[in-house]
Structure formats: C-alpha cells, structure tokens
C-alpha cells in the first residue's frame, strides 16, 4: 500500500543550508506550525529563515487525519473541573478562531484543499463511557457549544450513545500548506531542507547551530519540532509523553455518510473521508499506544485496523497506510510560548495531543503576537511555565515513574541468542555488557545496533509493524539499521559489528 495520502502529491523541494545567515526570526521545524508561523511573520514584514531536518510537511503534518475541529475527544468536562469556566472558554474559543482562520485563508487565496464543514461525533459502546459522554454534553451546554447526544451513527458499529459537535471541518493539509509555502517565498522568507538544528547558543543574538556547522543568527527562535530539539533546562522530557497511532486509507462499497467519528472506548477508532483522484477514500485510524511500549512482540496495529474495517465498513480496497506520533502535556493543554524565563526570545510549540491542525494555528498566531509584542488573550493559558497542583503533580509522578520503569526494564529485558532468529524479526541481547538490537531482514541479512537511545539513554524497543527501534521514554525512533527517523534525538544509533 501507499504511504500517507497527504504526501501523494508534488511538494516543492528546497536545498540544504550551506552558509551561515542572519535574520529576524529562525524557525526550526517544517510542519504546519513552522510553516504558518513563517507565513504570519513574513506577512508582517519580518525576515524569517525556516529550517527542516528532512522534507517540509513530511513529519507529523503529513501523517495526520486532518480534522479541523474543537472537539478534542472527551476534554471539556475535565478542563472545566481543573481550570474553571473562563479558561475552558478560552481554550474552546482559540480552537474556533483557528478553524475560522483556515476557512478564511482558504477562501482568500482560493485554495483547492477540500475545506468542508462536517459534524464531529464521539461515540461509545461502554456504559462507563456513556456517563462520560453525558458529562461532556453538560460541559457543552455550559460553554454554549452547539451539540447534542444521539443514540445512533450511520454505521453498523455497536454503540450505546454518541455526542455531536456541529459545524466542524476537515481539509487536505498539504494542499493548503503548499500555498502557504509559496506565500512565504513571495514575502522574502528563506527555507532550507535536510538541515538539522542541533543546539542553541546565546550571545548578542540567538544562534541556531546545525549539524553541518552552519549557524543562523537571529533576534528570536521558534522551536516547532514536535518535541523541542533544544530544551534549555525547561525539562520537557519530564512534562510530556509520546504516543503513536495508525491510519489506513480504504475504499468502500458503500457511500460515505458524512461526519467525522471518534470512538472513545479502547482501542479508539477514528473515521473520516477525503476525495482523491475521483475516489472517496475513507480514513480509518486508531490503535494508539505509548511509543516503544507494546503489549506483545507481534503487535500489528494495521492488521487490527483491517479487521475492524472489514467487519464494519464494507471494504472494497485497501490503498494507504501510515502512522504518526504526538505528545501529551501534563494537563492536556499544549505548551506554546517562551521556552523558559531565562531566554524569553526562544519559543516553543509542542504537546498538541493529536489535535495539531487547530492547535498549530493557535500556536502560530500566539508566537507571532509574542514576537511582535502584541497582546494575545491566550498567552497565559498556553504558556509553558504554567503549573497546576491538580492535575500536574499526579501526572508528573505518573509519567516519570513510567519513564523510570522503561529505562530500567530496557537494561534488563534482553535475550541471549540470535542464531535461530527468523527472517523479518528482531531481538535484543547482551553482548560484552552492552544491549544490542538485532534484526534479520527478509533476505536473511542481519543488522545490529546499540539500542541505547542517543537522546537521554533509554533502551529502544522493537516496533515490528514499522521495522523500527522506538524509545519508550521520549519518543525518538530509529530504523532497523539505526538511522534516525524522528527526534528528539539528533544522532543515529551506533551500529554493532557482530563479527568482532
């Protein structure tokens, strides 16, 4: 099957940075947050340089389900309990404004990106979660959100209850962002691909250092790399956890009934559609789990999604498959703002909890306002330095106990033999006191790597579905031969020669 449907189009290429530069704002990360930040800043006459480690839009942005919605799962009842009515209203309003921005921009530039209003529907077949839906519906009423409880959805999927949020939207993210990239260039912005930022220094200017030893000097830096490649003693590693989810693109013998759906039971399932080459492609997502943590060695999320789709969606053909990763903060609200108080002109946007289409718009506007010294009503809500006794303390202990468990478990949970390893399987074993990950490919070639993550030293675990070594602590991922796939790590795993 193809990979992501959003990347099944032509996207402009850019050269690597091969000289040192000076600019007003350096943006690290070429996904939707970085691109929209560069667009908004350049629209205001600010010089920008955008650096992307790989290719633009090929990270999380190119592997989303692209729902443009303020319905972020079961969240508003919880936010009301922890943050009160005023802050929860601000969260909802910021998401509504983000949706409106995408709609207005699409209309202004006549972008053919399939922006289309759709209702967003949560559903459950659990009595326990049915109560949660009712509590969420009550939160909708307090927030004046247009929605209601329903007792059916247009699929044969078993359910007890559903909750609709009316007049949400979906779109084709890369078709939309291609136009934004063109506008950045028209405004004089500079974009570089295959350019890895590895560190930040502070002198008269902020210096972004790259792996090829070229530097970009600027007054401000935006870190839009999903997980901050530079933490600056802000300890984001202890304040978020990574999780992966999976998507299949299929055609069905049925007509798509409309709407965007999310099952709140476990495992969660997501359903929406997109038009592609005169076909209606259904996007079935789900099987989320913490990165690098698998219930069993032969876990195959794609197989499980196919089983669900075959049972309930009258599948005609499977056409696409991809996966994605995102981070969740302690209180489920993204961190957007100054990295820390010591360096207020370095900014971060992270922790979107899989709702990156609207949160990225919120982040781009907020960061633009901060850089231009403008007021923004959402500054305090999203500021990274916030800390709330409840739920932050409980979540902090829970997340970091999990990291500690995985760190220790990875050092001890290894096997001793690989001679009888079957093709297309992997194991970890101890060798001279070192944990080695060994993968035998389908041609019986053996690939061995030191599975110690090059970020902070956790032991990576094997992901059979994607043939990768994944870090269970902070989400770095590496291919079977140790090549880095995604950060926060910036260095490959070390290869091991088993003959020596």
User: Which pLDDT does position 416 carry in this prediction?
Assistant: 44
How many Cα neighbours within 13 Å face the side chain of 217? Answer: 8
The CATH superfamily of 414-486 is Rieske [2Fe-2S] iron-sulphur domain (2.102.10.10)
- Residues 136 and 298: their CA atoms lie apart, in Å, by 36
Q: What is the secondary structure of 303-325 as a DSSP string?
A: HHHHHHHHHHS-EEEEEEEEEEE
Do you know the residue count of the chain?
Answer: 500
What is the pLDDT confidence band of residue 349, given thresholds at 50, 70 and 90? very high
User: Which pLDDT does position 298 carry in this prediction?
Assistant: 62
Between 295 and 339, whose confidence is greater? 339
CATH 3.50.50.60 placement within the chain: 5-64+174-238+332-387
Q: What is the pLDDT of residues 376-421, one digit of tens each?
A: 999 999 999 886 545 555 454 554 555 444 444 544 444 445 567 8
Phi/psi of residue 312, nearest 5 degrees = -120, -15
Q: Among residues 258, 253, 320, which one has the least CA distance to residue 9? A: 320
Beta-sheet pairing, 346-350 with 220-223: parallel
How many Cα neighbours within 13 Å face the side chain of 437? Answer: 29
User: Which pLDDT does position 433 carry in this prediction?
Assistant: 74
CATH 3.30.9.10 placement within the chain: 116-169+241-326
Q: What is the pLDDT of residues 190-219, one digit of tens each?
A: 999 999 999 999 999 999 999 999 999 999
- Residues 426 and 449: their CA atoms lie apart, in Å, by 11
Angle at the Cα of 93 from the Cα atoms of 92 and 94, rounded to 5 degrees: 90
User: Which pLDDT does position 399 carry in this prediction?
Assistant: 45
Query: For the residues 45-71, what does the mean pLDDT come to?
Result: 97
pLDDT at 56 over 60: yes
The CATH superfamily of 5-64+174-238+332-387 is FAD/NAD(P)-binding domain (3.50.50.60)
pLDDT at 497 over 90: no
Stated pTM of the model: 0.87
pLDDT at 488 over 90: no
pLDDT at 71 over 70: yes
pLDDT at 463 over 70: yes
CATH 2.102.10.10 placement within the chain: 414-486
What share of the chain in percent tops pLDDT 90?
A: 76
Query: For the residues 20-34, what does the mean pLDDT come to?
Result: 98
- Residues 121 and 419: their CA atoms lie apart, in Å, by 51
pLDDT at 486 over 60: yes
* Lowest mean per-residue pLDDT among 93-102, 309-318, 482-491: 482-491
User: Which pLDDT does position 186 carry in this prediction?
Assistant: 98
Prior bond of 267 cis (ω within 30°): yes
Cβ count within 10 A of residue 267: 15
Indicate the average pLDDT of the chain: 91
Q: What is the pLDDT of residues 355-375, one digit of tens each?
A: 999 999 999 999 999 999 999
Q: What is the pLDDT of residues 225-239, one digit of tens each?
A: 989 999 887 888 888
User: Which pLDDT does position 392 carry in this prediction?
Assistant: 53
Query: For the residues 70-96, what does the mean pLDDT come to?
Result: 97
Angle at the Cα of 84 from the Cα atoms of 78 and 88, rounded to 5 degrees: 70
Query: For the residues 1-17, what does the mean pLDDT come to?
Result: 93
User: Which pLDDT does position 408 carry in this prediction?
Assistant: 46
What share of the chain in percent tops pLDDT 70?
A: 92
Q: What is the pLDDT of residues 422-450, one digit of tens each?
A: 898 899 888 877 889 999 998 889 999 99
pLDDT at 62 over 50: yes
Query: For the residues 461-468, what does the mean pLDDT come to?
Result: 89
Residue 186 CB contacts under 8 Å (≥ 6 apart), including other chains: none
Angle at the Cα of 357 from the Cα atoms of 368 and 309, rounded to 5 degrees: 170
User: Which pLDDT does position 341 carry in this prediction?
Assistant: 86
User: Which pLDDT does position 103 carry in this prediction?
Assistant: 98
Q: Among residues 343, 345, 341, 387, which one has the least CA distance to residue 367? A: 345
| CA 105 vs CA 110, 365, 369: distances in Å | 8, 13, 18
Q: What is the pLDDT of residues 37-50, one digit of tens each?
A: 999 999 999 999 99
- Let me know: does 60 contact 325? Beta carbons within 8 Å: yes
* Lowest mean per-residue pLDDT among 25-29, 284-288, 372-376, 386-390: 386-390
Q: Among residues 208, 227, 324, 249, which one has the least CA distance to residue 5? A: 249
What is the CATH number assigned to the segment(s) 116-169+241-326? 3.30.9.10
């Amino acid at each position: 099957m193809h990979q992501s449907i959003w990347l099944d189009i032509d996207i402009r290429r850019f050269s690597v940075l091969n000289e040192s530069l000076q600019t007003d704002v350096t943006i690290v990360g070429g996904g939707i947050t970085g691109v929209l930040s560069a667009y908004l800043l350049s629209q205001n006459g600010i010089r920008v340089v955008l650096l992307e480690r790989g290719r633009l839009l090929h990270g999380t942005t190119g592997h989303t389900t692209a729902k443009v919605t303020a319905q972020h799962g079961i969240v508003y009842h919880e936010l009301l309990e922890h943050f009160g009515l005023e802050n929860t209203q601000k969260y909802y309003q910021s998401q509504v404004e983000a949706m409106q921005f995408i709609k207005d921009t699409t209309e202004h530039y006549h972008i053919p990106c399939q922006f289309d209003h759709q209702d967003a529907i949560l559903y459950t077949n659990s009595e326990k979660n049915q109560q949660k839906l009712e509590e969420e519906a009550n939160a909708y009423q307090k927030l004046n959100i247009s929605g209601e409880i329903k007792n059916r959805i247009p699929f044969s999927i078993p359910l007890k209850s559903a909750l609709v949020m009316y007049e949400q939207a979906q779109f084709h993210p890369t078709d939309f962002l291609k136009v934004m990239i063109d506008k950045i260039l028209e405004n004089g912005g500079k974009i570089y691909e295959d350019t890895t930022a590895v560190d930040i220094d502070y002198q008269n200017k902020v210096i972004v250092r790259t792996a090829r030893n070229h530097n970009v000097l600027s007054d401000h830096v935006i870190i839009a790399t999903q997980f901050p490649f530079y933490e600056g003693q802000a300890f984001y590693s202890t304040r978020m956890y990574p999780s992966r989810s999976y998507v299949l693109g299929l055609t069905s013998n049925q007509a798509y009934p409309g709407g965007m759906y999310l099952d709140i039971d476990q495992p969660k399932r997501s359903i929406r559609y997109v038009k592609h080459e005169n076909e209606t492609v259904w996007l079935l997502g789900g099987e989320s789990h913490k990165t690098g943590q698998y219930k069993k060695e032969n876990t195959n999320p794609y197989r499980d999604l196919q089983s669900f789709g075959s049972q309930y969606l009258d599948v005609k053909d499977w056409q696409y498959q991809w996966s994605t990763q995102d981070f969740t903060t302690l209180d489920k609200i993204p961190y957007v703002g100054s990295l820390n108080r010591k360096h207020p002109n370095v900014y971060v946007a992270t922790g979107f909890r899989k709702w990156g289409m609207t949160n990225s718009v919120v982040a781009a506007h907020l960061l633009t306002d901060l850089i231009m010294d403008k007021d923004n009503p959402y500054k305090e809500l999203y500021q990274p330095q916030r800390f709330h006794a409840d739920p932050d303390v409980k979540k902090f202990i829970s997340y970091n106990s999990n990291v500690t468990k995985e760190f220790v478990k990875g050092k001890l949970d290894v096997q001793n033999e690989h001679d009888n390893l079957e093709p297309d399987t992997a194991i970890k074993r101890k060798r001279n006191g070192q944990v080695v990950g060994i993968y035998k490919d389908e041609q019986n070639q053996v690939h061995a790597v030191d599975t110690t993550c090059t970020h902070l030293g956790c032991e990576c675990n094997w992901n059979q579905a994607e043939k990768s070594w994944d870090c269970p602590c902070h989400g770095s991922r590496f291919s079977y031969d140790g090549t880095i796939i995604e950060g926060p790590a910036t260095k490959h795993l070390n290869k091991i020669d088993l003959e020596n």
